[in-house]
């Protein structure tokens, strides 16, 4: 069994589509083993997005990701890390394949860099392990 870390981003929370997104996860057969609402601090975001923290667009990402609380989840299934990334689609929702969450529910103005792409999910087993630990302690995860 594999675990992945998911964040339902502020665009999902503020437009009230979290239920729709979670329904897709449940329909895909993923098991929710952890779930909580949290506000992302600048410090936590800098750690989580260390790979983009020096990019010119990073201040926009930080402002967006802390604009409302997010829903953090740990989901479990065989092969979930890759399957989840496939379900999400690529980072830019305008480039995401039809049928993916980001293509159907994301928002971006053509030619502008700000993007509202609904969900974060870990992109590798190494990232998943680090990210689950970053957002959850073991007692917040449930085996059932």
With CB atoms as reference, the residue minimizing the distance to ligand ADP is 91
Residue with Cβ nearer ligand ADP (33 or 65): 65
- Which one of residues 76, 107, 123, 129 is an interface residue with ligand ADP (CB under 6 A)? 123
Residues 59-118, interacting with ligand ADP (CB under 6 A): 61, 91, 113, 115, 117
SS (H, E, C) 6-69: EEECHHHHHCCCHHHHHHHHHHCCCEEEEEEEECCCHHHHHHHCCCCCCCCCHHHHHHHHCCCC
The question of whether 51 is a catalytic residue gets the answer no
Q: Return d(Cα 129, Cα 120) in angstroms, integer.
A: 15
Active-site annotation holder among 120, 132, 135, 136: 120
Q: Return d(Cα 84, Cα 81) in angstroms, integer.
A: 5
Where on the chain is the footprint of ligand ADP (CB under 6 A)?
A: 49, 52, 57, 61, 91, 113, 115, 117, 120, 123
* Residues catalogued as catalytic: 120
């Amino acid at each position: 069994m594999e675990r992945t870390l998911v964040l339902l981003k502020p665009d999902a929370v503020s437009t009230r589509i979290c239920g729709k997104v979670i329904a897709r996860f449940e329909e895909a057969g993923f098991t929710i083993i952890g779930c909580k609402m949290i506000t992302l601090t600048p410090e936590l975001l800098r750690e989580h997005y260390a790979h983009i923290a020096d990019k010119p667009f990073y201040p926009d990402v930080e402002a967006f990701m802390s604009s409302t609380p997010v829903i953090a989840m740990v989901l479990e299934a065989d092969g979930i890390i890759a399957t989840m990334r496939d379900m999400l689609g690529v980072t830019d929702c305008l480039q995401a394949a039809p049928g993916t969450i980001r293509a159907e529910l994301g928002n971006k103005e053509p030619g502008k860099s700000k993007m509202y792409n609904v969900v974060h999910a870990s992109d590798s087993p190494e990232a998943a392990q680090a990210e689950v630990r970053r957002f959850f302690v073991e007692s917040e995860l449930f085996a059932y």
